[in-house]
Amino acid sequence: MEIFFQLNSLRAGKQERRRDSLGAGVLLLALACFATAQAQESAVLPMAPGAQSATLPAVHRPVRPYDSPTMAGSTIRFAGGVTVEKATAEALPLGLDDAIDRGLKHNLQILLANQSERSVHGEISTVYFALLPNVRATAFTGASEINLAAMGFKPASFAAFGFAPGSIHEITKVDTTGVQLSADQVLFNLTDVYLYAAARKAGDVVEMNRLNVRGGVVDAVGTQYLAALADQAQIANTRARVTADQEVLRQATLMHEAGVGINLDVLRSQVQLQSEQQALVRAEDSFAKDKIALNRLIGLPAEQELTLVDAVPYADLVQMPLEQTKALAFERRKDLLALEAQLEVAERAQKAVKYERLPSLAFNSDYGVMGVTRGLYHGVFTAEGTLKIPLFEEGRLRGESEIAAAQELSLWRQIASLRVSIDAQIRASRLDVESSAELVKVARSNVDLATEALADTRDRFTAGVDDDLPVVEAQATLAAAQSRLVATEFRFNQAKLTLARNTGVVETEYKQYLGR
């Protein structure tokens, strides 16, 4: 029987530690690649679950910890420290800046990017461990029972050494206790040094990916807020037309009852009024759904009512020259910076593989005391140096070198492709901004002309010069012009946000691009 107690302050064995450091370096590179892929898909933000789940049969399942949230003030707390805000009874006033600020704090993509960064920093610490001394403290006590006869020793054979017969038993019990402190340190291993350098650069990769996700969230939240503002403007225009149609219907009815009008005018006015009422219902439905989508992006409950306090922004954008815009994008685009940092990770990892061919030098030692339990103890120690020279490992080293070279070449090609894509995106965004700005000017002119034409036709109808058919036609023309104006203003603002996103400055300069 033996009782053994051991306390390890760090992992034991430099052989195992060497493999851990190389494995951690490979894992870091994989994490960086995964984070880059996630960042490139960050523009596609999570959508609400579909309604088809309601048709599935009910399934009885056990209650899990997160099925029983706890209430704490204005939040709902789930297991793991996850909190969700509760909807308030009053409508929440929300400006564009407030919406973006909430999105940057509560959007799921932001939270996941923060956790990915935390995970990679943990991996960096793991690689850094390979460069530190490995110290272990060990304490043990044991009771052993040894059968000497089974090991070839017979009591009679000890008589020649002066031991009396029977003084040595065939079964011997030994109690041993000891305490030991061990240490080992790699003195020279360039592979570990370059892996640590690669790991530190991988921290820059995840940081750029996190910033890229933040830019995507700003773009998505800003676009969704502008879409809700467009719905709100559409509702205001439609309500104004409903009020005007009600007045036209009232006048047509009075003229018909007075005998100076015909019933056809009344019917046309009723049809026009009901058409605008239907348009109002559709606009309110679209507005409600866009607010739900906005709530989802900024981490609010779906049932939270919002009051949008900002008006639709409109301001001409003075664009920088194309070459200057491209140069700024090459400096500020986080996805490009992440790929460039990832390329440095690959280059340092390739050097780490290259230097695996060099010898490594390590030092190991331990010191402690050991002896019979409740008896005499004596100090024990060992000290050794180890020089390792790889001999028959060229095949493995060449394979690792080929993998690292392929990864490096792949990153070079991705960087070149992304720079071309950035050029194309900026050119397309500039064209969208220019064309949508012209469309807004034309749409505003059309609204002014349609409003003036409607006023003239109403005056003619009120004076009895004409029936209400021209009024109905003028109202339809004004409705179409107002809808086009709302749509073109939204596309103009969206195009400016997209240009800021493609330039890499949307998070810091979206106000300047929107003219706020």
Rounded Cα gap, residues 351 and 193, in angstroms: 10
User: Is residue 48, in this structure, part of any structural domain at all?
Assistant: no
Rounded Cα gap, residues 245 and 266, in angstroms: 11
Please tell me the least confidently modeled range out of 4-13, 89-98, 242-251: 4-13
Residue 82 confidence (pLDDT) above 90: no
C-alpha closest to that of 506 among 110, 209, 211, 219: 219
Residue 143 confidence (pLDDT) above 70: yes
User: Is residue 74, in this structure, part of any structural domain at all?
Assistant: no
In this prediction the pTM is 0.76
User: Is residue 158, in this structure, part of any structural domain at all?
Assistant: yes
Q: How confident is the model at residue 431 (pLDDT cuts 50, 70, 90)?
A: very high
Residue 138 confidence (pLDDT) above 50: yes
pLDDT digits (tens, 9 = 90+) for 164-220: 766 777 787 888 888 889 888 888 888 888 888 888 888 889 999 999 999 999 999
Please tell me the least confidently modeled range out of 5-14, 72-81, 212-221, 471-480: 5-14
What's the pLDDT score for residue 30? 45
Chain centre distance of CA 64: 26
Q: How confident is the model at residue 15 (pLDDT cuts 50, 70, 90)?
A: very low
* β-bridge pairing 92-94 and 306-308: parallel
pLDDT digits (tens, 9 = 90+) for 318-344: 889 999 999 999 999 999 999 999 999
User: Between 334 and 29, where is the model more confident?
Assistant: 334
| Beta-bridge partner residues of 387 | 361
Rounded Cα gap, residues 174 and 482, in angstroms: 99
Residue 52 confidence (pLDDT) above 70: no
Rounded Cα gap, residues 206 and 96, in angstroms: 28
Task: Decide: 415 and 336 in contact? Cβ < 8 Å.
Answer: yes
User: Is residue 62, in this structure, part of any structural domain at all?
Assistant: no
C-alpha closest to that of 490 among 112, 279, 183, 233: 233
User: Is residue 114, in this structure, part of any structural domain at all?
Assistant: yes
What's the pLDDT score for residue 84? 66
Give CA torsion, residues 486, 488, 494, 495, to 10 deg: -170
CA atoms 128, 134, 137, 138: torsion sign:
positive
Please tell me the least confidently modeled range out of 37-41, 89-93, 213-217, 489-493: 37-41
CATH of the domain at 284: 1.20.1600.10
Mean pLDDT of the chain: 80
Rounded Cα gap, residues 493 and 429, in angstroms: 11
Task: Decide: 231 and 287 in contact? Cβ < 8 Å.
Answer: yes
Rounded Cα gap, residues 19 and 356, in angstroms: 12
User: Is residue 69, in this structure, part of any structural domain at all?
Assistant: no
Residue 350 confidence (pLDDT) above 70: yes
Within 8 A by CB and 6+ apart from 140, the residues are 3, 4, 5, 6, 176, 177, 178
Phi, psi angles (nearest 5°) of residue 3:
-105, 125
Mean pLDDT, range 242-254, rounded to an integer: 85
Would you tell me how many other CB atoms lie within 10 Å of the CB of residue 117? Answer: 17
Mean pLDDT, range 138-148, rounded to an integer: 84
Residue 411 tokens read as: 């990153």
Task: Decide: 147 and 171 in contact? Cβ < 8 Å.
Answer: yes
What's the pLDDT score for residue 9? 32
Range of the domain at 382: 2-42+81-514
Q: How confident is the model at residue 77 (pLDDT cuts 50, 70, 90)?
A: low
Residue 109 confidence (pLDDT) above 50: yes
Can you list the alpha helix ranges (DSSP code H) found in 65-163?
96-106, 108-129
Q: What angle do CA 167, 172, 176 make, to 5 degrees?
A: 125
Q: For residue 344, give the H/E element and its range.
A: helix 334-354
Q: How confident is the model at residue 478 (pLDDT cuts 50, 70, 90)?
A: confident
What's the pLDDT score for residue 79? 53
User: Between 149 and 82, where is the model more confident?
Assistant: 149
Number of domains in the chain: 1
User: Between 79 and 496, where is the model more confident?
Assistant: 496
What's the pLDDT score for residue 64? 52
Please tell me the least confidently modeled range out of 58-72, 148-162, 181-195, 243-257: 58-72
What's the pLDDT score for residue 435? 95
What's the pLDDT score for residue 14? 40
DSSP state of 381: E
- Which of 33-37, 86-90, 272-276 has the highest average model confidence (pLDDT)? 272-276
Residue 22 confidence (pLDDT) above 50: no
Please tell me the least confidently modeled range out of 14-23, 194-203, 306-315, 470-479: 14-23
Mean pLDDT, range 472-486, rounded to an integer: 87
Would you tell me how many other CB atoms lie within 10 Å of the CB of residue 272? Answer: 23
What's the pLDDT score for residue 174? 81
Rounded Cα gap, residues 104 and 221, in angstroms: 9
Mean pLDDT, range 107-133, rounded to an integer: 85
Rounded Cα gap, residues 378 and 367, in angstroms: 11
- Which of 3-7, 309-313, 471-475 has the highest average model confidence (pLDDT)? 309-313
Q: How confident is the model at residue 439 (pLDDT cuts 50, 70, 90)?
A: very high
What percentage of the chain carries pLDDT values higher than 90? 33
What percentage of the chain carries pLDDT values higher than 70? 81
Rounded Cα gap, residues 156 and 136, in angstroms: 44
Q: For residue 74, give the H/E element and its range.
A: none
What's the pLDDT score for residue 152? 75
Residue 83 confidence (pLDDT) above 60: yes
Q: How confident is the model at residue 427 (pLDDT cuts 50, 70, 90)?
A: very high
